[in-house]
Each structure stands twice: as structure tokens, then as C-alpha cells.
């Protein structure tokens, strides 16, 4: 019986499982999307979400805790064939990803099933992704945006009513005078074009 036995063994020793989980989470934070098997993705997802919750706190203690859980591997990018250090995974986690999800109470990652199977063992492949910045607080934004749209429409109606009231208050002679100025400019333009 496996009562209250949490987690998956994944055919690995404890040390190998921990190292794999750290590597997958670091790759997820670095690239923001990774392709892996369904079982590995389900194992890494809660670990990555706990680290993002630590990053939302942004304190020194939270940063040290994240380094203890994840390690602090460098982000290396290749430019012109030369490796260039772009920062660290913990730096990106606390400077970019934590602030991105400040308004979101959870659910920072998603698993998308792919139609592909791995060639060696026919394992189900999935994409493990961080929810994008534009979708970070989708539900509350919709409610707010509807209210804002409604307020904006009402404000436009009020502005149009005020403009209409101003137009009625202006004397008709002033409006006709403006049209005369335009006709004089057109007459001058026609005379110039005939002279050339």
C-alpha cells in the first residue's frame, strides 16, 4: 500500500529526481516554455509555482530560500559564436517573473498536450509554459475593463452633449465668418495657380 506517499518516482533515485526537478524548473524560468513528458511536467509544476510565490515576496529571505531550493545557474546566450552571460535564473525570477504575477493569486503555469509522441518510448509530450504577461490577471481585468468601457462611453456622451450645447450658444455670424476666411484662402490659391 502507498498510503500518503506523495510524488512520482519517475524511475530515478531521490538525488536524480531532485536534480531533474531543479533543472526543469530553471529551464522553465529561463525560456518560459519547455517541452517534456506529462509526468515530469506534473511533478515540476507545483515546485515552479512555489518558487514564483517566493519571487512575489521579493525579500532577501525569500531570495535565499529560492537559491537553496533551485540553485543559481547562469543564463548563457551565444552571440556571434561567443558565450555571453545574460544574468542568473534567480535574478530573472525575482526581477521579471515575480513582479509579472503580483496581481495573480496562483496558476502561473499551464500544461498543453502535444500530438507528438517521443520516438524512443512513445511517451506523451507536453508543453509546460508560464502564463504570459498579457494573461496574468485575465478575469479581474475583464470585469474592470467592462466598467471602464461603460464609463468611457458615458464620458463621451457627456462631452458630445457639451459640444452640442456650445455650438448652439455660439452666434451664427461667428460660424459664417469662419467659412468666409476659408473661401478667401481658396480664392487666393486659385489666383496663384492661374498666374503660374
Q: Which of 106, 132, 158 is the last residue of a domain?
A: 132
**Of 92, 136, 84, nearest to 110 (Cα)?**
136
Q: What is the mean pLDDT of residues 106-116?
A: 96
Same domain, 55 and 145: no
Beta bridge partners of 82: 79
DSSP string, 23-73: HHHHHHHHHSEEEEEHHHHHHHHHHHHHHHHHHHH--HHHHHHHHHHH---
- 109-117: strand order across its sheet: 33-37, 124-130, 109-117
Q: What is the share, in percent, of the chain residues with pLDDT greater than 70?
A: 80
Q: What are phi and psi of 133, to 5 degrees?
A: -65, -35
In a domain, 90, yes or no: yes
Same domain, 100 and 19: yes
Q: Which residue's entry shows cell 515540476?
A: 44
In a domain, 75, yes or no: yes
pLDDT tens-place string over residues 37-49: 999 999 999 999 9
pLDDT band at 183 (very low <50, low <70, confident <90, very high): low
Q: What is the CATH number of the domain that holds 124?
A: 3.90.1030.10
Same domain, 163 and 100: no
In a domain, 3, yes or no: no
pLDDT given for residue 136 in this prediction: 44
In a domain, 88, yes or no: yes
Same domain, 146 and 176: yes
pLDDT band at 162 (very low <50, low <70, confident <90, very high): confident
Q: What is the mean pLDDT of residues 92-109?
A: 95
Q: Which of 87, 113, 132 is the last residue of a domain?
A: 132
- Which of the two residues, 155 and 21, has the higher pLDDT score? 21
Same domain, 123 and 149: no
Q: Which of 132, 162, 182 is the last residue of a domain?
A: 132
Work out how many domains the chain is built from and give that number: 2
pLDDT given for residue 137 in this prediction: 47
pLDDT given for residue 63 in this prediction: 97
Same domain, 145 and 123: no
Amino acid at each position: 500500500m502507498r498510503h500518503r506517499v506523495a510524488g512520482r518516482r519517475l524511475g530515478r533515485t531521490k538525488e536524480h529526481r531532485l536534480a531533474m526537478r531543479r533543472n526543469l524548473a530553471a529551464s522553465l524560468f529561463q525560456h518560459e516554455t519547455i517541452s517534456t513528458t506529462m509526468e515530469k511536467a506534473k511533478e515540476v509544476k507545483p515546485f515552479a509555482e512555489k518558487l514564483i510565490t517566493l519571487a512575489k515576496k521579493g525579500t532577501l529571505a525569500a531570495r535565499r530560500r529560492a537559491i537553496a531550493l533551485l540553485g543559481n545557474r547562469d543564463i548563457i546566450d551565444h552571440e556571434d559564436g561567443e558565450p555571453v552571460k545574460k544574468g542568473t535564473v534567480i535574478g530573472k525570477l525575482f526581477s521579471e517573473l515575480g513582479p509579472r504575477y503580483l496581481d495573480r493569486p496562483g496558476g502561473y503555469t499551464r500544461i498543453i498536450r502535444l500530438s507528438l509522441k517521443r520516438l524512443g518510448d512513445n511517451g506523451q509530450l507536453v508543453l509546460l509554459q508560464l502564463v504570459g504577461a498579457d494573461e496574468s490577471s485575465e478575469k479581474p481585468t475583464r470585469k474592470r475593463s467592462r466598467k471602464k468601457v461603460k464609463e468611457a462611453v458615458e464620458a463621451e456622451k457627456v462631452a458630445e452633449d457639451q459640444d452640442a450645447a456650445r455650438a448652439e450658444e455660439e452666434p451664427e455670424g461667428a460660424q459664417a465668418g469662419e467659412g468666409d476666411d476659408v473661401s478667401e484662402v481658396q480664392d487666393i490659391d486659385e489666383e496663384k495657380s492661374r498666374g503660374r
